[in-house]
Amino acid sequence: MAILQVILQVVLGITSLLLTLLILLHRGRGGGLSDMFGGGVTSNLGASGVAERNLNRITVILGLVWVASIIVLGLITKFDAAA
Tens-place pLDDT, residues 4-33: 999 999 999 999 999 999 999 887 766 555
Examine the pLDDT at 68 and tell me if it is beyond 60.
yes
Q: How many CB atoms lie within 10 A of CB 69?
A: 20
**What number of other Cβ atoms are within 10 A of residue 15's Cβ?**
20
The total of other beta-carbon atoms located within 10 Å of residue 28's CB is: 18
List, for residues 44-56, the tens digit of each pLDDT value. Answer: 554 568 888 999 9
Question: What pLDDT is stored for residue 46 in this prediction?
Answer: 47
Gap between the Cα atoms of 8 and 15, Å rounded: 10
